[in-house]
Amino acid sequence: MLTHHLDGAVWKKASRSNGNGGNNCVEVAFLDTGVAVRDSKDRSGPTLTFTKAEWTAFVDSAKDGEFDIS
């Protein structure tokens, strides 16, 4: 997805990120075509985009602990 398609995106970050000033976080934007993710420290930098199915698979895996460090 090209950056100019993200001009009207509404970016959000986790509510728990407020304790550190919100500067060491990722932000997500929910789009008609999927989800975009960016670094909150570099808002004009690169953006990753995912389909809705890819994002759902990632979130479900995170909830299931698949990415936990043992």
51 vs 59: CA distance, rounded Å: 12
Average pLDDT, the chain: 85
Confidence bin at 52 (pLDDT 50/70/90): very high
Q: Higher model confidence: residue 59 or residue 5? A: 59
Strand blocks (E) in the chain? 11-12, 26-30, 35-39, 47-50
Report the percent of the chain where pLDDT is more than 70: 83
CB 54 within 8 Å of CB 34: yes
Q: Say if pTM beats, i.e. exceeds, 0.75.
A: yes
Question: What average pLDDT score do residues 12-38 get?
Answer: 81
Distances (CA, A) of 54 to 41, 59, 68: 24, 9, 19
Question: What average pLDDT score do residues 4-29 get?
Answer: 77
Q: Residue 44, Cβ neighbours under 10 Å: how many?
A: 7
